[in-house]
């Protein structure tokens, strides 16, 4: 960090002849706090508060809709085949009561016009399995048969990048129809190398179009083409034979448990200190009017521990506030 000492008017920073009281203040290690008490009864605050509540409710409603995955017809078809829904698979894979930190839930939202791709057709995140934190990647077959859109590829690769950066094991719950053919020109490999890590289903839709028969004249069932028997007995791709979804998830948990994977963490665990101001006040401070200014320091004061913020470059570049936060 580059420091340049100045003597602004009215500053407590003087010279070596400064008195002891000011000197002690100047050399104190205590981090300053930011924030002030807003006028919660003002018309602007009340307007902001009401408008932001509407926006947050809309955001939560959209998130809940995304969690459903594909449409009702697609979900019913999925469950009629004896399959668990993707988020049910995650719940049964994770250690009971443990959290799941989901990535990029709004990936693909309104990206393809009227074509809905909830969560980008794939669910990714960090969860605890058999006591081990893992990256979990789950195809959602209720969204276009689990096929890969360009955004699906980006989201999948992003999860792998996070796994690599944090040295986390990966668990893939694969239920995919491969590349989304209408958008295959944007899906197939570029320099990021989209790997063939998904299980190619034999049929593209609920109509059961026999793809192999159409291409070669042969009649081959979905199981013969890519089922458990084929990959356990002939191709050798798989290590275990699962009878159903629940059995497969049990085997996945067992596999993670057998890794004997322990991540060495050199961290200091401290009890977090609550901000000095309630987070609820953010509704009234920010609002939805983009033409109305607000002090970003008031936002910082309501999200950091103890509202402690050590700002630097305070007199340079007024459009950007930078600093460090502390426990």
Are 208 and 83 members of one domain? yes
Cβ burial, residue 45 (10 Å; 0-12/13-18/19+): middle
Residue 55 resides in a domain: no
Average model confidence (pLDDT) across the chain? 80
Are 181 and 282 members of one domain? no
Between 64 and 14, whose confidence is greater? 64
Task: Please compute the mean of the pLDDT values over residues 293-309 and round it to a whole number.
Answer: 93
pLDDT of residue 85: 94
pLDDT of residue 193: 42
Q: What is the CATH number of the domain that holds 127?
A: 3.90.226.10
Are 117 and 237 members of one domain? yes
Residue 227 resides in a domain: yes
Cβ contact 215:221 at 8 Å: no
221: confidence class by pLDDT, cuts 50, 70, 90: low
177: confidence class by pLDDT, cuts 50, 70, 90: confident
Query: DSSP letters along 221-272, please?
Result: -HHHHHSHHIIIIIS---S---SSHHHHHHHHHHHHHTT-----------PP
φ, ψ for residue 97 (rounded to 5)?
A: 80, 0
Cβ contact 287:51 at 8 Å: yes
Task: Please compute the mean of the pLDDT values over residues 265-286 and round it to a whole number.
Answer: 87
Cβ contact 86:173 at 8 Å: yes
Domain range for 316: 20-39+274-325
| Number of domains present in the structure of the chain | 2
- Highest mean pLDDT range out of 46-50, 199-203, 209-213? 46-50
- 67 Rama class: left (phi>0) / alpha (psi -120 to 50) / beta: alpha
- Alpha helices (H) in the chain, listed in sequence order: 20-26, 43-68, 72-80, 86-93, 150-166, 211-216, 222-226, 228-229, 245-257, 282-286, 296-300
Residue 251 resides in a domain: yes
Q: Inform me whether the pLDDT recorded for 194 exceeds 60.
A: no
pLDDT of residue 45: 93
219: confidence class by pLDDT, cuts 50, 70, 90: low
Are 251 and 162 members of one domain? yes
pLDDT in tens, 17-37: 445 454 455 555 677 888 899
Q: Inform me whether the pLDDT recorded for 274 exceeds 90.
A: yes
Are 194 and 106 members of one domain? yes
By percentage, how much of the chain surpasses pLDDT 90?
A: 40
Are 100 and 170 members of one domain? yes
Q: Comparing C-alpha atoms, which of 113, 127, 123 is closest to residue 146?
A: 123
- For the entire predicted model, the pTM comes to 0.76
């Amino acid at each position: 960090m580059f420091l340049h000492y100045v003597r602004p008017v009215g500053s407590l920073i003087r010279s070596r002849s400064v008195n002891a009281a000011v000197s002690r203040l100047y050399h104190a290690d205590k981090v300053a706090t930011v924030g002030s008490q807003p006028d919660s009864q003002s018309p602007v605050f009340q307007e902001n508060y009401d408008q932001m509540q509407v926006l947050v409710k809309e955001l939560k409603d959209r998130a809940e809709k995304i969690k459903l995955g594909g449409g009702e017809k697609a979900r019913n078809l999925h469950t009629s085949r004896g399959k668990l829904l993707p988020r049910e698979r995650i719940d049964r894979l994770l250690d009971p009561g443990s959290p799941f930190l989901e990535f990029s839930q709004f990936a693909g939202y309104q990206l393809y016009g009227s074509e809905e791709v909830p969560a980008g057709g794939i669910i990714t995140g960090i969860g605890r399995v058999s006591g081990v934190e893992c990256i979990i990647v789950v195809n959602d077959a209720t969204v276009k048969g689990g096929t890969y859109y360009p955004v699906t590829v980006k989201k999948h690769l992003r999860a792998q990048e996070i796994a690599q950066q944090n040295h986390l094991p990966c668990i893939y719950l694969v239920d995919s129809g491969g590349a989304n053919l209408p958008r295959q020109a944007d899906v197939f490999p570029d320099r990021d190398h989209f790997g063939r890590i998904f299980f190619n289903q034999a049929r593209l839709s609920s109509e059961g179009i026999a793809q192999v028969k159409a291409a070669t004249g042969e009649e081959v069932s979905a199981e013969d083409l890519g089922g458990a028997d084929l990959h356990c007995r002939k191709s050798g791709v798989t290590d275990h034979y699962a009878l159903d979804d629940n059995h497969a998830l049990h085997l996945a948990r067992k596999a993670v448990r057998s890794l004997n994977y322990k991540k060495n963490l050199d961290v200091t665990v401290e009890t977090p200190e609550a901000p000095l101001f309630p987070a609820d006040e953010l509704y009234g401070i920010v609002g939805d009017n983009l033409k109305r200014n607000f002090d970003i320091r008031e936002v910082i004061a309501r999200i950091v521990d103890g509202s402690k913020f050590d700002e630097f470059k305070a007199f340079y570049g007024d459009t950007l506030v930078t600093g460090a936060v502390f426990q």
